[in-house]
């Protein structure tokens, strides 16, 4: 008892020094500034989506639900959203299906293919998407012309540019979980490779799979350049938005509807992020290469 | 019989010979410790038994069945790793049940077996905790229970205590030994800690540079190391370089023994600090030596002694019971004698 009383007495001023004074004020200031910087554009968009006209004043001249009603009931926008969600979902699904086995193989069976995978994962960032898109068009024109301009080719293109997000998240999760040792142990326990992957590997890297899936979903959902080249005549959310921006002069309220669509997009991604955060609670995951992988045995998960 | 037999096992990593023609027989129910410095090949040898490494040459037999080409998961083994390697997504109970489930045992058969294992490793109270919620010692006991659950023929332990602190290490070492003897399972135990190997094993195989230097019972290994490497690696030992004259070497006034074959002018004499007899004054057998340093170690006290042989100074450690050592001061000159029966000589 005496010992703990002494520790408490000495610890108390320590804590006050850490949280009080100008340091604390500076932290709140920075936090407030960051929040302001992030939130003001969103709030402006939100207000705009309800504005009748917003010209000379700080706040709009009047408010209406017209843009929300018009947007939500517009079949073109509905179809753009369903196309984009389908596209992004397929992209994420394909990337997960391709990357998880590849990352597993490169860690557990053949370390030599790691270099190849890592270089490949950097390529989409070294080349502009337009270049990749034209390359894909050329290639499909030579190999499979019937796929030109189809949804499937766009899915393939998005899968190609979004897979590094999945790879980094999954590979980081594998490093954090020590997947090599775990799958060796599963094998020594008598598990077949399939049993090892299903019961040991996947449950311990699910945080990475979900995070990577979200990132690739978002990358595909917001992608514009490749969709414009490969997906001519298709309506995705970014393509529709671009059209709205161009048509400002001749369609009344197009910016307001754009604001509605922006908020809807935000809502979709925010909801997904919330799912990811919920799913990953406590699980350590490394999203980017170079960021420190944390040892799962050291975290306090529960 | 259900021992393990390795014949002429060779494993190369590029140009490095991790295992060089190793042949070892482990008897049924025996615990064999593989002892050696890091990089000596002891873990590689264990992984060859587990099937996690494939030998380039040689055969591995478990219970007189050749398993050299058998996959790890089809070998009758249980394995415990240094890093516990419990599955973090499963509770203690689920970890122990895992090897039974992947063998498609019925739920009815699994439940009592898991309870039996929990009881064996004293984890019944922690059965529903996750690996993060238990201590290192408990984690390693869980790993032991998981390894033994499917009733394997051989238990393989890869430095199971290295990640634990000293108190837990000693306790768990005795616990592993108790369980191994109670189950009566053949076991191979890799360690770099000689006192751990001595304490737990029926026999110890000393490994160095991909070869087995000596296999012997702990007491024999301690008393009579057959190679210079085992002599230096096992226990603390005096290594004194002495001049060979007329096929003999020795310390004046103390021992004279036959020089080892192949010695060329000089040879190394090995003997233990506890075989050094120290007496006060200048009478009695032995040579004169000065006490340079006294180190109190508890029940014994170690003396750093410097004497002279063939005109060259020689340094010797001597361990005395502390009560006797209290009568000797630093800087004093004493008589030092070594029992020739406990001296071994190897060529330089």
Q: Give pLDDT tens digits for B116-153.
A: 999 999 999 999 999 999 999 999 999 999 999 999 99
Residues A199, B52: C-beta atoms closer than 8 Å: no
B212–chain A nearest CA distance, Å = 25
pLDDT of residue A17 exceeding 60, the answer is no
Nearest CA in chain B to A193: B73
Let me know: does B343 contact B270? Beta carbons within 8 Å. Answer: yes
SS3 content of chain B, % helix, strand, coil (to 5): 30, 35, 35
Cα dihedral sign, A29-A30-A35-A37: positive
Nearest CA in chain A to B99: A189
Which residues of chain A does B54 touch, with a Cβ-Cβ cutoff of 8 Å? none
Residue A248, pLDDT score: 65
| The model's pTM | 0.77
Which residues of chain B does A181 touch, with a Cβ-Cβ cutoff of 8 Å? 81, 83, 85
CA distance B321 to B302: 9
Which residues of chain A does B150 touch, with a Cβ-Cβ cutoff of 8 Å? 189-190
Q: Cα dihedral angle (A165, A169, A171, A177), rounded to 10 degrees?
A: -170
pLDDT of residue A19 exceeding 60, the answer is no
Rounded to the nearest integer, the mean pLDDT of chain B is: 90
pLDDT by residue (tens digit) across B228-260?
888 888 778 888 888 888 888 888 778 888 888
pLDDT of residue A29 exceeding 90, the answer is yes
pLDDT of residue A288 exceeding 50, the answer is no
B82–chain A nearest CA distance, Å = 11
Residue A250, pLDDT score: 55
Q: How many CA atoms lie within 13 A of B81 on its CB side?
A: 19
ipTM score here? 0.80
Residue B2, pLDDT score: 65
pLDDT of residue B155 exceeding 50, the answer is yes
Which residues of chain A does B74 touch, with a Cβ-Cβ cutoff of 8 Å? 190
Which residues of chain B does A301 touch, with a Cβ-Cβ cutoff of 8 Å? 130, 132
Residue A10, pLDDT score: 39
pLDDT of residue A2 exceeding 90, the answer is no
> Nearest 5°: CA angle at B94, between B90 and B96?
120
Q: Which of A218, A215, A102, A223 is nearest to A157 (CA)?
A: A223
pLDDT band at A7 (very low <50, low <70, confident <90, very high): very low
Residue B215, pLDDT score: 94
Let me know: does B100 contact B66? Beta carbons within 8 Å. Answer: no
Residues B79, A300: C-beta atoms closer than 8 Å: no
Phi-psi region of B247 (alpha: psi -120 to 50; beta: other; left: phi over 0): left
Residue A300, pLDDT score: 35
pLDDT by residue (tens digit) across B259-292?
888 777 888 888 988 889 888 877 777 888 899 9
Residue A257, pLDDT score: 84
B71–chain A nearest CA distance, Å = 9
CA distance B316 to B307: 8
pLDDT of residue A9 exceeding 50, the answer is no
The beta-carbon neighbor of A188 closest among B72, B89, B103 is B72
Contacts A–B by Cβ distance under 8 A: 71
Residues A185, B81: C-beta atoms closer than 8 Å: yes
Section B171-184 average pLDDT: 93
The beta-carbon neighbor of B132 closest among A184, A189, A297 is A297
CA distance B202 to B185: 12
From the candidates B50, B62, B89, B152, which should be mutated to test the interface with A, based on the most A CB atoms within 10 A?
B89
Residues B87, A204: C-beta atoms closer than 8 Å: yes
CA distance A209 to A216: 10
The beta-carbon neighbor of B88 closest among A188, A199, A204 is A204
pLDDT of residue A41 exceeding 60, the answer is yes
Instruction: List, in order, residues 6 or more apart from A266 with CB less than 8 Å away.
Output: A42
Let me know: does B317 contact B276? Beta carbons within 8 Å. Answer: yes
Instruction: List, in order, residues 6 or more apart from B44 with CB less than 8 Å away.
Output: B11, B18, B19, B53
Residue A61, pLDDT score: 77
pLDDT of residue B225 exceeding 90, the answer is no
Residues A199, B99: C-beta atoms closer than 8 Å: no
Residue A136, pLDDT score: 87
Residues B72, A186: C-beta atoms closer than 8 Å: no
Let me know: does B303 contact B293? Beta carbons within 8 Å. Answer: yes
From the candidates B102, B140, B148, which should be mutated to test the interface with A, based on the most A CB atoms within 10 A?
B102
Residue A20, pLDDT score: 59
Q: Which of B241, B257, B218, B235 is nearest to B338 (CA)?
A: B257
Residues A297, B88: C-beta atoms closer than 8 Å: yes
Residues B73, A188: C-beta atoms closer than 8 Å: yes
Which residues of chain B does A192 touch, with a Cβ-Cβ cutoff of 8 Å? 73, 102
| B314 strand-pairing partners | B307
pLDDT of residue B20 exceeding 90, the answer is yes
The beta-carbon neighbor of A181 closest among B81, B130, B132 is B81
Residues A188, B50: C-beta atoms closer than 8 Å: yes
Which residues of chain A does B85 touch, with a Cβ-Cβ cutoff of 8 Å? 178, 181-182, 184-185
Let me know: does A67 contact A260? Beta carbons within 8 Å. Answer: yes
CB atoms within 10 A of CB B132: 16
Residues B52, A187: C-beta atoms closer than 8 Å: yes
Query: 3-class SS at A270?
Result: helix
pLDDT band at B181 (very low <50, low <70, confident <90, very high): very high
Q: Under an 8 Å CB criterion, which residues of A touch B?
A: 177-178, 181-182, 184-192, 195, 199-200, 203-204, 296-297, 299-302
Cα dihedral sign, A183-A187-A188-A190: positive
Q: Cα dihedral angle (B199, B202, B206, B211), rounded to 10 degrees?
A: -150
Section A231-260 average pLDDT: 79
Let me know: does B262 contact B226? Beta carbons within 8 Å. Answer: no
Query: 3-class SS at A57?
Result: coil
Pinpoint the alpha helices (H) of B255-311.
Answer: none
Pinpoint the alpha helices (H) of chain B.
Answer: 42-50, 92-101, 107-120, 136-148, 166-183, 194-200, 218-223, 228-233, 322-325
Instruction: List, in order, residues 6 or more apart from B245 with CB less than 8 Å away.
Output: none
Section B316-339 average pLDDT: 89
The beta-carbon neighbor of B150 closest among A187, A190, A299 is A190
> Nearest 5°: CA angle at B299, between B297 and B300?
60
Q: Which of A68, A55, A14 is nearest to A259 (CA)?
A: A68
Residue A283, pLDDT score: 54
Query: How many Å separate Cα A167 from the centre of its chain?
Result: 13
Residues B78, A188: C-beta atoms closer than 8 Å: yes
pLDDT by residue (tens digit) across B56-100?
999 999 988 999 999 999 999 999 999 889 999 999 999 999 999
Residues A296, B150: C-beta atoms closer than 8 Å: no
Query: How many Å separate Cα B24 from the centre of its chain?
Result: 15
DSSP for B106-141 reads -HHHHHHHHHHHHHHTT-GGGTTS-GGGS-HHHHHH
Q: Cα dihedral angle (A111, A117, A122, A127), rounded to 10 degrees?
A: 150
Residues in chain A: 302
Pinpoint the alpha helices (H) of chain A.
Answer: 2-19, 21-49, 66-73, 75-108, 113-126, 129-143, 151-177, 179-188, 193-196, 202-221, 225-230, 237-246, 254-279
């Amino acid at each position: 008892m005496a010992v703990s009383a002494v520790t408490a007495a000495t610890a108390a001023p320590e804590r006050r020094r850490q949280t009080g004074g100008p340091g604390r004020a500076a932290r709140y200031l920075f936090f407030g500034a960051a929040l302001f910087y992030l939130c003001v554009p969103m709030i402006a968009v939100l207000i705009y989506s309800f504005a009748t006209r917003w010209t000379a004043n700080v706040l709009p001249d009047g408010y209406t639900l017209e843009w929300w009603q018009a947007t939500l009931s517009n079949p073109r926008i509905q179809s753009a959203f369903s196309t984009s969600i389908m596209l992004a979902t397929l992209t994420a699904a394909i990337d997960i299906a391709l990357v998880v086995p590849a990352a597993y193989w490169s860690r557990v069976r053949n370390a030599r293919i790691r270099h190849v995978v890592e270089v490949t994962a950097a390529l989409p960032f070294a080349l502009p998407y337009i270049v990749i898109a034209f390359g894909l068009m050329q290639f499909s024109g030579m190999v499979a012309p019937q796929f030109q301009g189809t949804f499937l080719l766009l899915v393939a293109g998005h899968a190609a540019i979004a897979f590094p997000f999945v790879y980094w998240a999954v590979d980081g999760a594998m490093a954090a979980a020590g997947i090599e040792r775990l799958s060796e142990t599963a094998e020594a326990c008598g598990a077949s490779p399939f049993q090892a992957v299903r019961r040991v590997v996947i449950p311990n890297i699910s945080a990475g799979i979900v995070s990577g899936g979200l990132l690739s979903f978002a990358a595909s959902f917001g992608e514009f350049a490749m969709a414009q080249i490969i997906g001519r005549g298709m309506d995705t959310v970014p393509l529709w938005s671009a059209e709205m921006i161009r048509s400002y002069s001749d369609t009344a309220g197009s910016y307001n509807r754009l604001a509605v669509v922006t908020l809807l997009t935000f809502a979709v991604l925010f909801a997904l992020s919330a799912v990811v955060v919920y799913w990953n609670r406590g699980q350590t995951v490394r999203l980017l290469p170079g960021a420190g992988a944390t040892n799962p045995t050291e975290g306090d998960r529960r | 019989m259900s021992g393990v037999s390795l014949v002429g096992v060779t494993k190369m990593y590029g140009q490095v010979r991790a295992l060089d023609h190793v042949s070892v027989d482990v008897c049924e129910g025996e615990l064999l410790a593989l002892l050696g410095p890091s990089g000596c090949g002891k873990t590689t040898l264990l992984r060859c038994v587990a099937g996690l490494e494939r030998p380039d040459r040689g055969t591995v037999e478990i219970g007189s069945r050749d398993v050299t080409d058998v996959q790890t998961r089809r070998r009758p083994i249980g394995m415990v790793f240094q890093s516990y390697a419990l599955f973090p997504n499963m509770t203690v109970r689920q970890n122990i049940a895992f090897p039974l489930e992947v063998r498609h045992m019925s739920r009815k058969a699994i439940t009592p077996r898991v309870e039996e294992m929990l009881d064996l490793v004293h984890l019944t109270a922690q059965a529903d905790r996750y690996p993060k919620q238990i201590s290192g010692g408990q984690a390693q006991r869980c790993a032991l229970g998981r390894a033994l659950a499917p009733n394997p023929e051989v238990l393989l332990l890869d430095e199971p205590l290295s990640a634990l602190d000293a108190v837990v290490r000693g306790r768990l070492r005795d616990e592993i030994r108790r369980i191994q003897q109670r189950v009566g399972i053949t076991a191979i135990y890799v360690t770099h800690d000689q006192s751990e190997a001595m304490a737990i094993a029926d026999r110890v195989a000393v490994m160095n540079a991909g070869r087995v230097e000596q296999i012997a019972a702990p007491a024999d290994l301690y008393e009579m190391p057959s190679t210079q490497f085992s002599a230096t690696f096992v226990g603390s030992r005096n290594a004194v370089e002495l001049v060979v004259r007329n096929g003999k070497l020795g310390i004046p006034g103390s021992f004279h023994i036959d020089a080892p074959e192949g010695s060329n002018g000089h040879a190394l004499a090995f003997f233990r600090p506890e075989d050094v007899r120290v007496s006060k004054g200048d009478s009695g057998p032995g040579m004169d030596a000065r006490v340079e340093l006294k180190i109190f170690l508890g029940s014994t006290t170690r003396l750093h002694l410097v004497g002279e042989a063939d005109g060259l100074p020689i340094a010797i450690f001597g361990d005395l019971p502390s009560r006797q050592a209290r009568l000797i001061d630093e800087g004093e000159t004493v008589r030092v004698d070594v029992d020739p029966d406990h001296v071994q000589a190897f060529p330089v």
